[in-house]
Amino acid sequence: MKFNILLMSLSAILFASSCGPKAFVKGQYDDPQRENLMNDQWSETDMQVAVKSMVTSMLGHDAIANAKKPPIVMVTNLQNKTSEHIDTQSVMDMIRVELTNSGRVNFVDKEAREDISNEYGYQNSGMVSEETKKGPGGQIGADFIVNGRLDSIVQEVGKEKTVYYKLTLNLTNLKTGIIAWTNHKEIRKAYRKKSVGL
């Protein structure tokens, strides 16, 4: 009798543990350029596809393609109008990196302004030699700012689901306030619910 109870208890424990959440205990490096459609949310593949398209379009516009010298650009913010928590700073960082690596655009760093100001204060405190210290008044102003928004539409009917993203960017002339370039990239993904069996 005791043996049967013990056997039933062990069976229940094994069954419960097999139905519980699984821990990811073994991994391997993967190619970040490989398509990722593991779930129906914004992924690194979506970001890579959207950024590549937008950067190619921006670099082909007259404001950059026919500039006599590389324009000075500043990245501001990307509004997230989706229902997901998306790191929009990461999207804008990738855009800045790709544009910088093209060699046709130079950037000023909005995020570093406070650090630069603090460093000016330190360098003018008497701790730094006169020959090497820097101070306010020598920075270069931006010619353009890049900003935009990310939108999404989710539709679900029965077992079918589609997720649509639209990344829109603007390149605005700081002197005139005129949008010199704007474009959008659309991404649409289709999913089907998997039947769950025993």
| pLDDT bucket at 192, cuts 50 / 70 / 90 | confident
| pLDDT bucket at 118, cuts 50 / 70 / 90 | very high
Residue 113 Cα to chain centre, angstroms: 22
**Structure confidence at residue 136 (pLDDT):** 87
* Domain ranges, ordered by start, for the chain: 42-108+139-193
| pLDDT bucket at 57, cuts 50 / 70 / 90 | very high
Fold classified for 42-108+139-193: Rossmann fold (3.40.50)
Is pLDDT above 90 for 9? no
Contacts of 59 (CB under 8 A, 6+ apart): 65, 99, 102, 104, 105
Q: Which residue has the higher pLDDT, 13 or 128?
A: 128
pTM value surpassing 0.85: no
**Structure confidence at residue 113 (pLDDT):** 87
74-103: average pLDDT: 95
Is pLDDT above 80 for 198? no
Query: How do the residues of the chain divide into helix, strand and coil, expressed in percent and rounded to 5?
Result: 35, 25, 40
Residue 132 structure tokens: 């090497």
71-89: average pLDDT: 95
